[in-house]
Amino acid sequence: MKEGILVLNSGSSSLKFGVFVPRDGDEQAWLSGSAKGIGCEDGSLSMRASDGSIDIAQDHLMESQHDALQRVADALNEHLHEPLAAVGHRVVHGGPHVSAHCELTPDVKDALREAVAFAPLHLPQSLALIEEAQRIFNGVPHFACFDTVFHRTMPECATTFALPREYARRGIVRYGFHGLSYESIVNALGDALASRTVIAHLGSGASLCAVKDGRSVDTSMGMTPAGGIPMATRSGDLDPGVLIHLMRHEPLDADALETLVNRASGMKALSASDDDMQALLARRDQGDADATLAIDEFCNAVRKTIGAYAAVLGGVDLIVFSGGIGEHSEAIRAQVLDGLSFLNARHRVVATEEERQIARHCRELVVG
């Protein structure tokens, strides 16, 4: 398996992974799996090889990402008899100084440490996992693939906030996220990709992207993944005066505000408890007003953003739904599309393949 590329895609309480090999001109998954519920009593680990040589489904308490990664490594050591070609890591934010997918050299890791302020909820965890993975899978190159890179094609008018220009020079700009997801969808559609496409990546984290001829020209998330539409626990865009008011008149400092907008807002706040869309839909069906409000705000925000991107693109030919909600909730898709018939746009569902997209980039970097 010298040609195998291990891809690691970490979340707040999960770790998705895969080993990819080149077949028929593209990357194919030889192994895929996930560790879910990390740090919870109901954690689980599953992995399956395409040739049937590995088929594991276990319920385990995994205390940390490191614990989950070690279990993956143990399984690979048992079944792989040749070294990997590389390890690829999904990294949410490259910060202002890392603008391309690249090898994780000491200098690159130092640059990411300096960028922690831009993604304090994501980068520390990513860096810790990278260090552990480099220790476990030593002797092979490790590469970082960033969610921000796909959006580097956005024009300056889409990336620059209406603040004094000196702040943009300090890196306070719109970066955009979910780029690996969007790029994988562009690849999956191939010739079926329309010139004017809006992609809605709808999951617990959610964003939209305006794609013109395969290139990102606008996206809803901003300097951080907290911006844009309301999400499971994130507020999305707010009037800046709201935060100023809360700092002045409530006992909320910067750390408390960060917790508020990232972990205690969105669907969870509007519904007074739930951040899971299936649970919210069930409550709405039973006449729950709070759940109805949460769903209506979510769908309205998605619909408004699609309308805005119709203006950016000069019309919309195709609307693509992806992510856990976008792929699996027909009810949400229908509510979003209700009222958009005037666009005369086709719509379809396309599964995101972030791990496969990371493998593609890593293969290119390995080959040079």
Active site residues: 147
Q: Which residues pair with 48 in a beta bridge?
A: 32, 55
Q: What would the DSSP string read from start to end of 123-158?
A: HHHHHHHHHHHHHHSTTS-EEEEETTGGGGGS-HHH
> Measured in whole angstroms, how far is the alpha carbon of residue 59 from the centre of its chain?
26
Measured between alpha carbons, how far is 320 from 333 in angstroms, rounded to an integer?
10
320 phi and psi angles, rounded to 5 deg: -115, 130
- Token code pair at residue 237: 């865009």
**Strand 142-146 relative to strand 102-103, pairing:** antiparallel
Amino acid at 75: A
**Strand 346-349 relative to strand 318-322, pairing:** parallel
Measured between alpha carbons, how far is 295 from 317 in angstroms, rounded to an integer?
26
**Positive or negative, the Cα torsion across 229, 288, 337, 185?**
positive
76 phi and psi angles, rounded to 5 deg: -65, -40
Walk across the sheet containing 318-322 and list its strands.
Answer: 215-219, 206-212, 196-202, 318-322, 346-349
Walk across the sheet containing 142-146 and list its strands.
Answer: 55-59, 44-49, 26-36, 15-23, 5-10, 86-91, 142-146, 102-103
